[in-house]
């Protein structure tokens, strides 16, 4: 049972105590962001700032011109105050302190998918999701492979954590969203997440799907009450589902191959979902791909859905991880951790170190103390440890 904590390179800028907090939590691994999208977040324990605003996507590794100059897509540079060495410097310090580091790479979630949006997801109404790169595009898959390879070359890393390694959909944790006011059901989110860019239309035709007919069926379904994709698409639903899953599978296979070619012993952790219609950054995955990675991590941010996410992913993967939030008290910590372990979870992934308050840090330490053999606590001791805390 291992423990991974997530952090950004800027968490460590101007805050030497950030390294001490990693040691306090007794983490096995830090997943350090090598690329990330725009965000605005609280940094309650940083000595000089309380709000950190990152205005756009960026890569926090050196962007070598000889590698990126000829490519149609390349990641933006980080802000000057962060600089091109923030990832390398933080990874080096963490390694020196005895904590392993994974490069946490966000792949198809960006802030602007090319100036002309050629590479972006386009829904059945022709509307562009400028934050979502479509993996049907050759240039997008090349961008993802290159970003992963360059991350592995940038610093001594145990491996990589892959987020948004598949088709992003309507769900987007970025802009001041108002989507919830529409009260759309899951099936409506899924329909609005289907991509009809040129590359997808070509791919659909190759597998016998007529994109114009499919788009018309999507638009028609959104004018009436539907509860499932089958309700909406009828006899086209199975083929549409298989096509969408193939987008993730192709990208994931190519990225995994790129990792293995660059560093054969690197650990590959994939943020994954067993739902072929997953519309966010936990990409649809199948057993063939998951057999090639070291750990598949399920989204357990919402405790009400965590059991379902774990139960659906566990049968198709080897090592299972749970991605949890530490910014609030867990209502039933002993039941939750015990349930995760019984569901097959062997890796607990903690989000997010730089966002923790003092109270959250103490709560995180209690959970860390209850998790993993290195701390002398096995499954049978989880409940006792939490009760005594």
Give the tens place of pLDDT for each residue, 157-176: 999 999 999 999 998 776 66
| CA–CA gap between residue 250 and residue 257 (Å, rounded) | 11
Are the C-beta atoms of 151 and 34 separated by less than 8 Å?
yes
Residue 388 has pLDDT above 70, yes or no: no
Average pLDDT for the chain: 91
- The DSSP letter of residue 76 is P
Average pLDDT over residues 268-286: 95
Residue-wise burial string across 282-309, b where 16 or more C-beta atoms lie within 10 A, e elsewhere: bbbbbeebbeebbbbbbbbeeeeebeeb
Q: How far apart are CA 279 and CA 276, in angstroms?
A: 9
CA 24 to chain centre: 25
DSSP 151-185: HHHHS--SEEEEES-S---S--SSS---GGGG---
pLDDT of residue 381: 54
pLDDT surpassing 60 at residue 219: yes
R_g (Cα) of the chain, nearest Å: 21
pLDDT of residue 371: 82
Q: What are the domain boundaries of the chain? A: 2-388
- Determine the longest span between alpha carbons in the chain, in angstroms: 61
Tokens encoding 176:
């001041």
- The encoded tokens of residue 195 equal 């991509």
Q: How confident is the model at residue 115 (pLDDT cuts 50, 70, 90)?
A: low
Q: How many helices (H) and strands (E) does the chain have?
A: 14, 14
CA distance 216 to 230: 15
By residue count, the chain amounts to: 389
Locus of tokens 């002309």: 116
The pLDDT of residue 379 is 44
- CATH 3.20.20.80 describes domain 2-388: yes
């Amino acid at each position: 049972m291992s423990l991974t904590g997530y952090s950004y390179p800027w968490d460590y800028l101007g805050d030497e105590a950030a390294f001490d907090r990693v040691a306090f939590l007794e983490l096995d691994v830090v997943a350090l962001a090598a690329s990330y999208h725009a965000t605005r977040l609280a940094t309650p324990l940083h000595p000089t700032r309380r709000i950190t605003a990152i205005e756009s996507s960026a890569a926090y590794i050196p962007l070598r011109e000889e590698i990126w100059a000829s490519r149609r897509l390349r990641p933006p540079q980080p802000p000057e105050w962060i600089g091109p060495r923030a990832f390398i410097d933080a990874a080096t310090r963490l390694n020196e302190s005895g904590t392993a580091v994974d490069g946490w790479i966000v792949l198809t979630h960006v802030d602007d998918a090319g100036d002309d949006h050629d590479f972006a997801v386009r829904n059945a109404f022709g509307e562009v999701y400028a934050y979502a790169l479509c993996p049907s595009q050759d240039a997008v898959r090349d961008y993802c492979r290159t970003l992963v390879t360059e991350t592995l070359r940038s610093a001594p890393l145990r491996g990589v954590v892959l987020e948004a390694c598949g088709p992003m959909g309507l769900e987007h944790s970025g802009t001041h969203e108002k989507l919830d006011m529409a009260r759309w059901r899951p099936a409506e989110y899924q329909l609005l997440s289907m991509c009809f860019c040129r590359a997808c239309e070509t791919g659909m035709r190759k597998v016998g799907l007529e994109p114009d007919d499919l788009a018309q069926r999507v638009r028609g379904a959104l004018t009436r009450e539907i509860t499932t994709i089958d309700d909406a698409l009828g006899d086209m639903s199975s083929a549409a589902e298989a096509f969408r899953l193939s987008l993730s599978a192709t990208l994931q296979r190519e990225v995994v191959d790129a990792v293995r070619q660059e560093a054969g012993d690197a650990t590959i952790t994939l943020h994954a979902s067993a739902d072929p219609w997953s519309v966010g950054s936990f990409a649809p995955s199948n057993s063939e791909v998951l057999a090639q990675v070291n750990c598949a991590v399920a989204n357990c941010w919402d405790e009400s859905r965590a059991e379902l996410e774990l139960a659906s992913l566990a049968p198709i993967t080897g090592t299972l991880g749970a991605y949890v939030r530490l910014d609030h008290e867990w209502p039933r910590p002993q039941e939750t951790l015990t349930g995760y372990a019984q569901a097959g979870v062997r890796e607990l992934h903690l989000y997010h170190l730089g966002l923790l308050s003092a109270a959250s840090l103490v709560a995180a330490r209690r959970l860390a103390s209850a998790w993993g053999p290195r701390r002398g606590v096995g499954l049978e001791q989880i409940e006792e440890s939490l009760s005594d805390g």
